Amino acid sequence: MTERFVKIYPRFERFWHWTQMALIFVLMFTGLAVTGLNGLIPFGPAVMLHIIAALALIVLWVFAIFWHITTGTWVHYVPTTKGLFKVARFYAWGIFKGEKHPYRKAYWRKHNPLQALTYLALKLVLFPAIWVTGVIYLTYNFWDSSVPNATLWLTIVANLHLLAGFAIAAFVLAHVYLLTVGGSFRAHVRPMVTGFDKVDLTPEEESYLEQDEPVRIR
């Protein structure tokens, strides 16, 4: 295996990542204002901005899902138990002892087992949960008169929406925190800016990239 810098984050993936990040921060900021935990923006504008950002994020997710399926990049999110314990132990203990990360990024799998499992849970559980509860919450006026105990159901939906929002916020905080440990912050963020990251390549993969896609390898 040879370690080379390879462009494993294409332009759309980087656009999707940073746009999603910006929209999630807007949703967190306005969501706290709507719930009364943030007094920096009035309730009315907060609700309107929250709805606009949510709809923009849903559109972005639709395009991202289509892109992942059509490009085959969905395979990077397939969970595996191989090496999962070692990676979990590293983040829970080894990272504070200065140990080397046990996972070596491969051309065909850029996410370590714990990352793949976490991102899959986000995409299959938390994101759909906040999306579905948000849409139900937003369309309350269309179903309140036809559903028994509509007010009670609205309270349940609102609490589930808030719970999913706090879970996503917790992921964001953990994600940012992990960027500050186990190496420099700049080194962790640079791949999602330039697209290039250190990857272990087999001789066949290295030969293919050098001959057929030289702009993707350094």
What does the pLDDT read at residue 151? 92
Q: Note the residue count of the chain.
A: 218
Question: 12-30: b or e for each residue (b if 16 or more CB lie within 10 Å)?
Answer: ebeebeeebeebbebbbbb
Are 87 and 113 spatial neighbours (Cβ–Cβ below 8 Å)? yes
Between 182 and 42, where is the model more confident?
Answer: 42
Q: Tell me, what's the pLDDT at 75?
A: 87
CB-CB contact of 166 with 72 (8 Å): no
Q: Dmax of the chain from CA atoms?
A: 65
> Would you state the pLDDT for residue 59?
94
H helical segments located in 139-195: 140-143, 150-178, 185-189, 191-194
pLDDT number for residue 96: 81
CB 102 within 8 A of CB 137: no
Contact 178, 91 (CB under 8 A): yes
Q: What's the average model confidence in pLDDT over 33-55? A: 92
Q: Give the mean model confidence (pLDDT) for residues 177-185.
A: 77
The token pair at 64 is 């991202």
AA letter at 2: T
User: pLDDT tens, 69-86?
Assistant: 999 888 888 888 888 899
| 184 has pLDDT over 80 | no
Task: Check whether 180 has a pLDDT greater than 90.
Answer: no
Q: Tell me what percent of the residues of the chain surpass a pLDDT of 90.
A: 51
**Domain region containing 15:** 2-216
- 187 touches 159 (CB < 8 A): no
Q: E-assigned strands of 38-148? A: none
Structure confidence by residue, pLDDT tens digits, 93-149: 888 888 888 888 887 788 889 888 999 889 899 999 999 999 999 999 999 888 899
**Angle at Cα 166 formed by Cα 14 and Cα 25, nearest 5°?**
40
Number of domains in the chain: 1
Which candidate, 73, 27, 71, places its Cα nearest to that of 50?
Answer: 27
Q: What is the CATH number of the domain that holds 211?
A: 1.20.950.20
Supply the pLDDT for residue 19: 97
Helix (H) or strand (E) holding 3: strand 2-7
Which residues, in sequence order, are bridge partners of residue 106? Answer: 109, 200
**pLDDT, position 73:** 86
